[in-house]
Structure 1
Amino acid sequence: MENRAFEDSEKSPQTENGSSRKRHSTESTDSPDTNSDVTVRVEKVRMKKTVGLISGTSLIVGTIIGSGIFISPKSVLDRTGSVGLSLVVWVASGFLALLGSLSYAELGTVIRKSGGEYSYIKEALGDIPAFLFAWTSVIVVRTSSMGIICLTFGEYMATFFPYCGSPVIPIKLVAALAIVSLGVINSYSTTLAGRTQVLFTFVKLIALIIIVIGGIVKLIQGNTLQFENSFEGTTTSPSSIALAFYNALWAYDGWNNLNYVTEELKDPAKNLPRANVLGVLLTTVIYLLVNISYLTVMTSAELLNSQAVAVTWGDRVLGAAAVLMPLSVLFSTFGAANGTLFGGGRVVYVAAREGHLPEMLSYVHCKYYTPFPSIIFTIVISLIMIIPGDIASLVDFFSFSAWLFYGVTVTCLLIFRFTKKDVERPIKVPIVIPILFLLIAAYLVIGPIIENPQIELLYAFLFIVGGLIFYFPFVYFKLKIKGFEWLTTSVQLLTEVVPSPYEPDN
């Protein structure tokens, strides 16, 4: 659809002295006017390259470390049946995330577009698989992730106030307020969103370091009972182990977040692989030590019965300073939700730019240089996702869909090894890494279905395939909805957004 409301605004009006007045501080090209001697300056609105190594690593660590480390230890321990296997699952999940981050680092340097999996799937497999990913990511994966994180934010906020029973409505209201606040930050400034990510990452690392130090002190004091006969009671069910991985890997989700903003990354050939590896390694070490710390303070039964693991730990270790724990969780979840929205909004933006979503969602604000419509769309869907409020169901639904497409994406890397042999690869991982990752991803998707089919997984599969109902009429046959062009023009006028076509780096 052509840009109507702002097509005339691309040309800067002339001042009285005949010079060209520049409306936007963006890249521009000069072209002569064939009817006069006046030079017309055409403005190109593009998002800026504002993400460096530190902010990129913060985006990964800050997105990974969110609600997962505060809610998943309980589910992982419950589904593995033993302390020993639960710790193995946490380390193995970090190793799997590292394999994925290395594979994505190569993908991001071969296809240097934002949008992560969407861009790689479209290039390797074509429009239909790419559309199904965008459909699932936009409606389920990213938005359910936002919902889970912000519901956890609301649950920990509720610990500051005395309530009778379970305060479901206040928790959802707080979660909604957090989502809207993040929408404002990300819509106003990409730089502000990046600085917010760095700040909240720093704060959450401080909190987790406090937990780690407390655990080390308890170990020195001899609190090692939970690590004796640590594999006693271990489950032998492949389905239970796969579901345990789902919960641990949910806590690691975000290791691929930097690939969503490749076009905004400074020197992606160097910073993308470095930030990916640094972020995952740092998180894996912290997660292992934090889980050990939890188990030096609580027994397995106490951990399973705790409504807020970090709060229980703080009450027993920090005493009067225990209020720091729920505060730290609030900072952690808010920062993780910020990183999720930052990356998720780019999936919408790129898919719309490629014609797989309404074109208006690919527009960029002409003053703030942010993908304003795509961010607003993402937070609206996220607000809908918090209505059910069942975190456990959301995690299973999210994990199945996410790992299905993670496996498909790494398959694209194997395809590129044959179809893009001559493309420069600043990083080229050994072929065994993507193959191993693909096999594990296949187990995580197929294992639970074979042994213990769940209706939620069937719903997830049907939802993914159901995207074809929208693909064929609106994308393939380009069916136009009456009045939609008027809506697009109205949105442009109301929100001051303009098209932002893709331009490869020089």
Structure 2
Amino acid sequence: MTRRGTRFKYEPVDGSDVTSSSDESLRSEDKPFRLKRQISLFSGVCLVVSMMIGSGIFVVPTGVLKYCNGDVRTSIAVWGVGGAMTMVAAFCVAELGASIPESGSWMTYLHYAFGPFPSFLYTWMVVISANPESLAAQIIALGEYMTKLYFKDDCEVPHADLLKKLLGLSVAMLIMGVNITRVKLAVRLQIFFAFGKVVALVGIAFVGLMQLINDRSVATSNFFPEHVNVTGHGTQILADSQSHIGVAGLSLALYQGLWAYDGFEAITLVTEEVKNPARALPVITCIAVPLVTALYLIVNVAYFSVLTPTEMLSSHAVAVTFGQKIHPFVAYLMTLSVCLSLVGSLNLTFLAIARIPFIAGRLGHMPEFLSMAHIRHYSPVPAILLTLILGTCMLLSSNFDVLVTACLFTNWIFRGLTFLGLLYLRKKRKDLYRPYKVYKATAIFATLISMYLMAVPLVFQPEPLYLLSLVLFMVFMVMYLLITRGKIKMTGIGKTGRFLQKLLLVAPTSNQVQER
């Protein structure tokens, strides 16, 4: 451990380095082979914004409004509270990322705080279940909206389900190729998609503002129903909107809204590729999360300036319904915007999410081969390919709700454990250099938020399907025991690994941290 004045700099966890490959000719002992720091402050903000703004803001408002019993004002308040809670969690992640400048986010922090076991469980739960399911859902959704661009609603498309999957998968493969061969281009594309998403949301906000200027009747009836003669304006406010909204409804509405804020930790998945992460991570967090929160609030106000609660609750794609209410051409633009949003999410999956098996291979949680990167393009090719292969396997069935719901529930368990790890490291590693530090109360509040989000689906909407997480836990626990007893080996490169290494032109990487 090296000193920086009277403080200590971060160093990798002892014993976490993977065994080096026998093919030493592909790298130099004196100059470790590692990913390049190519993500600037602006690129990092775009990455987080693009990760957070997915298809959620175009779909989730319906669920939030439903659990608020059609009460528009309560729905807007839920979006604001969700943004504040996300900001608290993001600040804690920024401290961990600045103090432990390794890629991998939750997986790396769990490993550093509590050792390999919880990190191993999290890794396999995410890599095998959550991420492939999410990728498959994005591919299907993209194919769905792509067909809307070319076919009218009354047009019968032969083999529609297969066509949607093939269209989405074709775009995913194209985006994967860019991420493998042109990392800088992938980052630039992410900037473009992030900009496109923001433009789409600003466009919705602008249209909503114009509607407020021209005709305030819908907005007035939505936000001030007690002062409006409802039938006189031709709108229909749900009778339940005047009823009492209980704790269960508010909790489930908040749970829905927070799903749209998911992805706030995206920059910590690629910490090793961020320029000056000690300074950049907190700044990126302070810019990206409030920006997304403000956009979400403005867009929801815009939605309610055009749509009544009944119209929103009957819509599966709020942005498209919003556009149809204004003009058919606006509806076309909204559909195109959702497509670009989903393509951006696909790009981010390969740019950031695919780094999880890459780091897992380095830590020895998954085969070492996954920790290798291309010797010329500096991209984690094996990890990216694995992500697409598993996502493609999930396309064999389009019913992903059970596994996705269970894995999202599991994610908050590990996030709460990570926030506890932050408090634990304050005691265990007082000598750790922390260029950015949150208040202790902030970390405690983030932990309580995670516990609350773990309890919400169990208490207010219990389903036997959550037992699926327990089954996966048991399977991966047995796997971990077999690995620790030497029955299964994750390190070392066998004949198959050497063949793939030569085929893909990849080499082992170093987890030695570059000077910040």
* Superposition TM-score, scaled by structure 1 size: 0.88
Q: Is the CA contact 1:361–1:373 (under 8 Å) kept in the aligned structure 2? A: yes
Relative to structure 1, the CA distance from residue 306 to residue 263 in structure 2 (aligned partners, 3 Å threshold; closer, same or farther) is same
SS of 1:498 mapped into structure 2:
strand
Mapped to 2, the partners of 1:265 and 1:120 lie a distance apart of: 17
Partner of residue 175, structure 1: 168
Q: Are 1:282 and 2:291 an aligned pair?
A: yes
Relative to structure 1, the CA distance from residue 47 to residue 442 in structure 2 (aligned partners, 3 Å threshold; closer, same or farther) is same
Q: Are 1:57 and 2:45 an aligned pair?
A: yes
Q: Is the CA contact 1:85–1:234 (under 8 Å) kept in the aligned structure 2? A: no
Partner of residue 133, structure 1: 122
Q: RCO higher in 1 or 2 (8 Å CA, sep ≥ 6)?
A: 2
Matches within 5 A, 1:84-95: 84-95=73-84
Partner of residue 204, structure 1: 197
Partner of residue 14, structure 1: none
Paired letter, 2:222 = Q
Relative to structure 1, the CA distance from residue 282 to residue 391 in structure 2 (aligned partners, 3 Å threshold; closer, same or farther) is farther
Mapped to 2, the partners of 1:243 and 1:7 lie a distance apart of: 54
SS of 2:353 mapped into structure 1:
helix
Q: Is the CA contact 2:129–2:403 (under 8 Å) kept in the aligned structure 1? A: no
Identity percentage over the alignment?
A: 33
SS of 1:48 mapped into structure 2:
coil
Paired letter, 2:242 = E
Deviations 1:159-213 (A, max 9, x none): 1213438943322222322322222121112211111100111111111101001
Q: Which runs of 4+ in 1 moved over 6 A?
A: none
Q: Is the CA contact 2:372–2:509 (under 8 Å) kept in the aligned structure 1? A: yes
Q: Are 1:360 and 2:356 an aligned pair?
A: no
Paired letter, 2:122 = F
Q: Which runs of 5+ in 1 are unaligned?
A: 12-27, 30-42
Q: What's the CA shift for 1:480?
A: 4.4
Q: Is the CA contact 1:45–1:369 (under 8 Å) kept in the aligned structure 2? A: no
Matches within 5 A, 1:234-249: 235-238=245-248, 240-249=249-258
Relative to structure 1, the CA distance from residue 142 to residue 184 in structure 2 (aligned partners, 3 Å threshold; closer, same or farther) is same
Relative to structure 1, the CA distance from residue 9 to residue 245 in structure 2 (aligned partners, 3 Å threshold; closer, same or farther) is same
Relative to structure 1, the CA distance from residue 373 to residue 416 in structure 2 (aligned partners, 3 Å threshold; closer, same or farther) is same
Q: 1:184 aligns with which of 177, 185, 189?
A: 177
Partner of residue 4, structure 2: none
Paired letter, 2:138 = I
Q: 1:322 aligns with which of 327, 331, 349?
A: 331
Q: Give the root-mean-square deviation of aligned CA atoms.
A: 2.3
Q: Is the CA contact 1:474–1:480 (under 8 Å) kept in the aligned structure 2? A: yes
Relative to structure 1, the CA distance from residue 475 to residue 218 in structure 2 (aligned partners, 3 Å threshold; closer, same or farther) is farther
Q: Are 1:114 and 2:103 an aligned pair?
A: yes
Partner of residue 164, structure 1: 156
Mapped to 2, the partners of 1:395 and 1:92 lie a distance apart of: 24
Partner of residue 7, structure 1: 24
Q: Are 1:408 and 2:417 an aligned pair?
A: yes
Q: 1:217 aligns with which of 198, 210, 215?
A: 210
Q: Which runs of 5+ in 2 are unaligned?
A: 1-18, 227-240
SS of 1:413 mapped into structure 2:
helix
Deviations 1:82-116 (A, max 9, x none): 32332222111111111111000101111111100
Q: 1:272 aligns with which of 281, 291, 313?
A: 281
Q: What's the CA shift for 1:458?
A: 1.6
Matches within 5 A, 1:309-348: 309-348=318-357
Q: What's the CA shift for 1:45?
A: 2.5
Mapped to 2, the partners of 1:144 and 1:237 lie a distance apart of: 30
Partner of residue 252, structure 1: 261
* Superposition TM-score, scaled by structure 2 size: 0.87
Deviates more, 1:273-282 or 1:177-186: 177-186
Q: Is the CA contact 1:66–1:337 (under 8 Å) kept in the aligned structure 2? A: no
Paired letter, 2:336 = L
Paired letter, 1:189 = R
Deviations 1:25-76 (A, max 9, x none): xxx73xxxxxxxxxxxxx6421100011100000000111111111111222
Partner of residue 45, structure 1: 33
Deviations 1:418-472 (A, max 9, x none): 1122222221111111211211211111232134321222212322342112212
Mapped to 1, the partners of 2:69 and 2:312 lie a distance apart of: 12
Q: Is the CA contact 1:102–1:429 (under 8 Å) kept in the aligned structure 2? A: yes
Partner of residue 20, structure 1: none
